[in-house]
């Protein structure tokens, strides 16, 4: 039975061809289900209520395919997009599968490989533009090392920067208004991956020639693998205007990159992430595509893949409704307002430096014991979040 949580294109949900199309292979076993073709994925996602589909160059066009084959595949794919009213908001480059990238793409010690990687990215960007993509994601899966003896990380950073600068300048020269989004991951498939977190990426971006066109694509799994907070990574990205894209999924802390159905792990983490994106707790909402970089359990057949896809989208909408309820809750508002009111008289004391402000501050005397005595009622606040989430409190 359809209900208020059934997705529609207005919800801006997207999936990758590589996510729904994942046939369940892992390092210990081959595929367990048929690969769903790109055209079938477009039709299936449209039926589920998604807005669009994203892709790596080689999800659609086999590596090294001749121009005529490429054009035929793209034509057929565009026809399917038109027929089903589906968009391609983001495109990316596979810079990790082929053996040529065994020591990295933009950070390979071999300059010929770096040049090839940039050329491959240019072709993938051309494909993205042809399909209407506005955002280009860069995930450097092989940009790392197993041993620090291999290369100086400063060389790797420099080579990576050169490649990004080249691609930004080329894209501008083509007259495209694209945005590039860099995706961090701490490890897997390399032992160590350079620029391991969204925070690392945010700093790296500021060292680029055209930093204004480059932002981040944080992923739940990649922040949670090492036990970091996705909510904080996204909040920092939003605060500096750099949340250009997002990869939603589920992950248990400390495991391999699981890419599980959104909301299936760390329910509270998912809830506070959705609350942040929806802006119910304050600040403007994120308005870009809501992309699921996840795949169905290996136990599933093709029917299970569509259960998985619907599940991701429904869970997001359910959490969005819960976020709205939480922030409309009178007791929640009261507790948050009471905390904000504390010391309102001092709010301006340190917002701007002046010699006079410094003198005034040095002359103040604070009653540390009295200030330390008050509790903040966060236990109550968190319990309300739990009760809202579990449906006990409406
Ligand atoms: C992973 C990554 C990828 C990227 C994708 C888009 O861990 O495998 O998350 O799925 O998101 O390559 O660039
Ligand atoms: Mn991942
Ligand atoms: Mn990802």
| Residue range 313-333, pLDDT digits in tens | 999 999 999 999 999 999 999
Report the candidate in 241, 192, 194 with the shortest Cα–Cα distance to residue 216.
Answer: 241
Report the candidate in 50, 119, 44 with the shortest Cα–Cα distance to residue 262.
Answer: 50
For residue 71, give every residue at least 6 positions away whose Cβ sits within 8 Å of its Cβ, in sequence order, or none.
none
Give nearest CA residue, ligand 1 atom 2: 139
For residue 253, give every residue at least 6 positions away whose Cβ sits within 8 Å of its Cβ, in sequence order, or none.
224, 225, 226, 227, 266
Q: Ligand 2 centre from 381 Cα, in Å?
A: 31
| Residue range 3-28, pLDDT digits in tens | 999 999 999 999 999 999 999 999 99
Give nearest CA residue, ligand 1 atom 4: 139
pLDDT above 80 (res 1) = no
Is the sign of the CA dihedral 310, 312, 313, 314 positive or negative? positive
Report the candidate in 176, 93, 180 with the shortest Cα–Cα distance to residue 141.
Answer: 93
- Whether 103 is catalytic is no
6, 11, 26, 56: the catalytic one is: 56
For residue 235, give every residue at least 6 positions away whose Cβ sits within 8 Å of its Cβ, in sequence order, or none.
276
3-state class (DSSP) for residue 214: strand
**Cβ(298)–Cβ(261) under 8 Å?**
no
Residue 139: CB atoms within 10 A of its CB come to 23
Q: Ligand 2 centre from 222 Cα, in Å?
A: 6
pLDDT higher for 350 or 152?
152
| Residue range 20-70, pLDDT digits in tens | 999 999 999 999 999 999 999 999 999 999 999 999 999 999 999 999 999
Q: How confident is the model at residue 286 (pLDDT cuts 50, 70, 90)?
A: very high
**Cβ(39)–Cβ(78) under 8 Å?**
no
Largest CA distance in the chain: 78
Q: Is 15 left (phi over 0), alpha (psi -120 to 50) or beta?
A: beta
pLDDT above 90 (res 134) = yes
pLDDT above 90 (res 394) = no
- Whether 376 is catalytic is no
Residue 48: CB atoms within 10 A of its CB come to 19
Atom of ligand 1 at shortest range from CA of 257: 7
**Cβ(160)–Cβ(107) under 8 Å?**
yes
| Residue range 201-233, pLDDT digits in tens | 999 999 999 999 999 999 999 999 999 999 999
Count of alpha carbons within 13 Å of 96, Cβ hemisphere only?
A: 15
Task: Judge if the beta carbon of residue 315 lies within 6 A of ligand 1.
Answer: no
As a whole number of Å, the CA-based R_g of the chain is: 23
Q: Ligand 3 centre from 181 Cα, in Å?
A: 11
Q: Ligand 3 centre from 150 Cα, in Å?
A: 26
Q: What is the CATH number of domain 9-324?
A: 3.20.20.150
Domain range summary for the chain, segments of one domain joined by +: 9-324, 330-389
Give nearest CA residue, ligand 1 atom 5: 139
């Amino acid at each position: 039975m359809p209900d208020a949580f059934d997705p529609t294109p207005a919800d801006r949900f997207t999936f990758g061809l590589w996510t729904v199309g994942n046939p369940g292979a892992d390092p210990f076993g081959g595929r367990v289900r048929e690969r769903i073709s790109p055209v079938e994925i477009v039709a299936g996602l449209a039926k589920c209520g998604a807005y669009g589909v994203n892709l790596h160059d080689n999800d659609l066009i086999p590596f090294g395919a001749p121009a005529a084959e490429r054009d035929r595949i793209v034509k057929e794919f565009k026809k399917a997009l038109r027929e089903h009213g589906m968009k391609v908001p983001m495109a990316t480059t596979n810079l990790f599968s082929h053996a040529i990238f065994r020591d990295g793409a933009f950070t390979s010690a071999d300059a010929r490989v770096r040049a090839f990687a940039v050329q491959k990215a240019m072709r993938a960007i051309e494909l993205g533009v042809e399909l209407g993509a506005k955002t280009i994601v860069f995930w450097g899966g092989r940009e790392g090392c197993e041993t620090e003896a291999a290369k100086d990380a400063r060389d790797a950073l420099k080579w990576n920067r050169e490649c990004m600068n080249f691609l930004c300048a080329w894209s501008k020269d083509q007259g495209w208004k694209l945005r590039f989004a860099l995706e961090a991951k701490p490890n897997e498939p390399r032992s160590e991956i350079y620029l391991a977190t969204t925070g690392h990426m945010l700093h790296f971006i500021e060292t680029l020639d055209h930093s204004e066109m480059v932002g981040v694509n944080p992923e739940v799994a990649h922040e949670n693998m090492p036990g970091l907070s996705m909510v904080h990574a996204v909040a920092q990205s939003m605060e500096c205007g750099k949340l250009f894209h997002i990869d939603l999924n589920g992950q248990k802390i400390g495991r391999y990159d699981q890419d599980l159905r959104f909301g299936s792990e760390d329910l509270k983490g998912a809830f506070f992430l959705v609350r942040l994106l929806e802006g119910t707790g304050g600040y403007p909402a994120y308005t870009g595509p809501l992309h699921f970089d996840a795949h169905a359990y290996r136990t599933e057949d093709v029917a299970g893949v569509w259960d998985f896809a619907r599940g991701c989208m429904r869970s997001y909408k359910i959490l969005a409704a819960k976020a709205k309820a939480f922030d409309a809750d009178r007791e929640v508002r009261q507790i948050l307002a009471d905390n904000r009111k504390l010391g309102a008289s001092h709010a301006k004391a340190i917002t701007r430096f002046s010699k006079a402000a410094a003198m005034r501050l040095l002359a103040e005397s604070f009653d540390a014991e009295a200030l330390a005595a008050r509790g903040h009622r966060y236990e109550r606040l968190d319990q309300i979040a739990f009760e809202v989430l579990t449906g006990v409190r409406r």
